[in-house]
């Protein structure tokens, strides 16, 4: 597993599919980035859980963005995906993989939690639903991201700041 950076990531500002410029990292709130692809079956299977996490934690002051990694996608395709899966947060197309590279994301779905200071607080899987490609449990046993967010909101350090994420590889489009 690759090491998490210890220094803050450089600020990147990209427009979401509605044209709103979104700074990453946010300097106002803790921010969760979900790396997704419209054609990744694992990310799409996790979509209801991603939606629940957004619904549960957004009212507690956490900001969410979906980072779409396929530069060939159009804003309309991303908007349709966001609506189809009721994802409940803005979608950003990372055409140049600026965000992907800044946080060293490797698969979809993968979650990254950034503090207001730009430091990475968590990187990894949403939960342990998938044991390997093509093999999933009936239900997750450990909700890694939810645990991390609850610890963070309680003012405690995140007990497991990095977990291996299983999903569709993020290809290098350069």
pLDDT in tens, 114-162: 999 999 999 999 998 776 666 666 777 889 999 999 999 999 999 999 9
Question: If you average pLDDT over residues 98-108, what whole number do you get?
Answer: 93
Give the SS3 label for residue 146.
helix
Q: Which two tokens stand for residue 114?
A: 């950034």
* Mean pLDDT for the chain overall: 91
Residue 6 belongs to some domain of the structure: no
52: region left, alpha or beta (phi > 0 left; psi from -120 to 50 alpha): alpha
Torsion of CA 146, 166, 99, 65, to 10 degrees: -40
- Which pLDDT score is estimated for 145? 96
Structure confidence at residue 137 (pLDDT): 66
Residue 86 belongs to some domain of the structure: yes
| Averaged pLDDT for residues 34-57 | 94
Looking at the domain assignment, is residue 27 inside a domain? yes
> Residues, the chain, total?
174
Joined together, the tokens standing for residue 108 give 């979809």
Distance in angstroms (rounded) separating the CA atoms of residues 121 and 112: 8
Domain extent at residue 44: 12-169
Q: What is the CATH number of the domain that holds 49?
A: 3.40.30.10
User: Quick check: is 4 in a domain?
Assistant: no
- 131 assigned to some structural domain: yes
User: pLDDT > 70: what percent of the chain?
Assistant: 94
pTM of the model: 0.94
Instruction: Return the pLDDT at 61.
Output: 95
The secondary element (H helix, E strand) that includes residue 49 is helix 41-57
Residue 7 falls within a domain, yes or no? Answer: no
- Quick one: average pLDDT of 29-50? 94
Q: Is there a domain that residue 153 lies in?
A: yes
The DSSP code sequence of 76-91 is HHHHHHHHHTT--S-E
Contact status, residue 36 vs residue 66, Cβ threshold 8 Å: yes
Whether residue 1 is contained in a domain is answered as no
Does residue 174 register a pLDDT over 70?
no
Give the mean model confidence (pLDDT) for residues 105-111.
Answer: 95
Report d(CA 116, CA 109) in Å as an integer.
23
Could you give the number of structural domains in the chain?
1
């Amino acid at each position: 597993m690759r090491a998490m950076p210890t220094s803050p990531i450089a600020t990147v500002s990209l427009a979401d599919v509605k044209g709103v410029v979104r700074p990453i990292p946010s300097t106002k709130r803790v921010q969760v980035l979900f790396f997704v692809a419209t054609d990744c079956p694992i990310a799409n299977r996790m979509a209801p859980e991603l939606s629940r996490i957004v619904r549960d934690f957004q009212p507690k002051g956490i900001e969410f963005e979906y980072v779409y990694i396929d530069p060939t996608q159009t804003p309309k395709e991303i908007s349709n995906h966001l609506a189809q899966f009721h994802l409940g947060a803005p979608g950003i197309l990372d055409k140049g993989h600026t965000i992907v590279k800044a946080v060293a994301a490797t698969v979809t779905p993968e979650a990254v939690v950034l503090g207001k200071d730009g430091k990475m607080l968590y990187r990894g899987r949403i939960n342990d639903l998938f044991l390997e490609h093509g093999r999933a449990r009936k239900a997750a046993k450990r909700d890694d991201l939810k645990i991390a967010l609850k610890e963070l909101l309680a003012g405690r350090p995140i007990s497991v700041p990095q977990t291996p994420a299983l999903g569709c590889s993020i290809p290098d489009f350069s």
